[in-house]
Structure 1
Amino acid sequence: MSAMNIRDLMHASPVMPVIVLDRVADAVPLARALVAGGIRVLEVTLRTAAALESVRAIRAEVPQALVGVGTVTTPAELDAAQAAGAVFGVSPGASPALLRAIAASGLPFLPGVMTPSDVIAAREAGFEALKLFPAAQAGGIGMLKALAGPFPGLVFCPTGGIDAGSAPDFLALPNVLCVGGSWLAPKALVEAGDWAGIERIARAAAALRPAA
């Protein structure tokens, strides 16, 4: 897994589930359900106290999963993600200090951008695969089409406000390799332990195909 670069990871699943876990006990069955449905790339967000231990559990018990850490906002959080065994990272935005730390870490990473200036700063730091966030509020499909002109070599994983209905339209864009979405691991199904229901959602998402 360490040999995979960020584009490899983006190609591995058309949808990257944005996972929020309140209980470590849910991490492994959730990961198994998503992988069984054909979704291998999992983003566990640093939004709860259970996140890093959940990543450790998935790494230990679900070897087919490519588990990364999202909502990375500081170099310290980046260090913690790597220590937990994350094979990639994702941020909602990026400061110069965070971009430097990511580049130095060697961890495959999707820095978050929202504006053309953000894109230029990330590209100057050496990143050509980016997360557009929050995608819907940033202009969605229209923004991605607009960015394709001045930034023809860059690819995106738009995240934020995307659901099963809109994902195919985003994936039809040539500069979109995958999308991020929380609809694959809805809180109600996770709390209920409805792993079969989550596997069905994952199977439908895995059937989507990006244009690129």
Structure 2
Amino acid sequence: MTGTDLAGVLDGCRIMPVLTVPDPGTAAPLADALAAGGARCAEVTFRTPDAAQVLKTMAAHRGLVVGAGTVLTAEQAERGVAAGARFVVSPGYDEDVVARCRELGVPVVPGIATATELMRALAAGLDTVKLFPAEPLGGVALLRALAAPFPGVRFVPTGGIGLDRMSDYLAHPAVLAVGGSWMATPGHLERGDFAGIRRLTAEAVERSAR
């Protein structure tokens, strides 16, 4: 299990909408809006009771590669993969989650906030990590500081990142993709503002290609 596996799954996708979806009924139009905006991957967080159903619906969309996010336990990893997750993202490093994802044959991206946590991930054979929460921890300055002594590591920064900061992260060669929730917030979903989701996604995708 290496970061190369995740890169292959993402297939060049550099913008990852991070989604918290309370109502499974919005999953299909949400997937349509993201794909229409040019998104090719997404992370469905396990922060709601029906996250597995949302993931299953979105994973059925031919235009999206969907992963399970905010995975805290091996059992959640199992449910996410059973629902169609192609990768698993955790806010921190948990040995049981990493081991179960290995058994399931899916890339796992544990969250790290320090060099010590990053070294634990490397010792487990991983070379791609989630820098979380990126902005509160120090943003691009922290990314640069961690990337320097660990040149083989790829990062997926997430947490507090918006459109205004996205490009700064993507400009760093160690960044595989940037995750963010601004493209599809709970407010967008509550209002049924799928046109807004499509517009914000398209803007992010367009900027990422510059």
Identify whether the pair has TM-score above 0.5, normalized to the shorter chain. Answer: yes
Uncovered stretches (5+) of structure 1, i.e. residues with no partner: none
1:119 and 1:208 map into 2 onto residues whose CA distance is 29
**Alignment correspondent of 2:58:** 58
Deviations 1:180-208 (A, max 9, x none): 10001022221111211111101011113
TM-score (norm 2): 0.93
- Tell me by how many angstroms 1:127 deviates: 0.8
> Kindly, what percent of the aligned residue pairs are identical?
41
Write the distance in 2 (CA, Å) between the matches of 1:45 and 1:17: 10
Is 1:15–1:178's contact at 8 Å kept on the other side of the alignment?
A: yes
Secondary structure of the structure 2 residue equivalent to 1:137: helix
Equivalent pair of 1:7/1:129 in contact (CA under 8 Å): no
- 1:94 aligned to 2:103? no
Normalised to the residue count of structure 1, the TM-score between the two structures is 0.92
Secondary structure of the corresponding residue to residue 18 of structure 1: strand
SS at structure 2 position matched to 1:64: coil
The amino acid that maps onto 1:74 is T
**4+ long deviations beyond 4 Å:** none
Q: Per-residue CA shift, 1:85-127, capped at 9, x if unaligned?
A: 1111100001222222222221122111111011111011111
Which one-letter code corresponds to 1:88 in the other structure? F
Task: Could you tell me which runs of 5 or more consecutive residues in structure 2 were left unpaired when the two chains were aligned.
Answer: none
Aligned to 1:168: 167
Deviation track 1:109-159 (CA, whole Å, cap 9, x = no partner) reads 211111101111101111111100111122211111011221000010100
CA contact (8 A) 2:162 2:180 kept: yes
Q: CA deviation at 1:13?
A: 2.4
Whole-angstrom CA distance in 2 between matches of 1:207 and 1:9: 21
The CA distance in 1 between the partners of 2:113 and 2:138, in whole Å, is: 9
Asked if the contact 1:176–1:210 (Cα under 8 Å) also holds between the matched residues in 2, the reply is: no
Matches within 5 A, 1:60-209: 60=60, 62-209=61-208
Identify, as 1 or 2, the structure richer in helix. 2
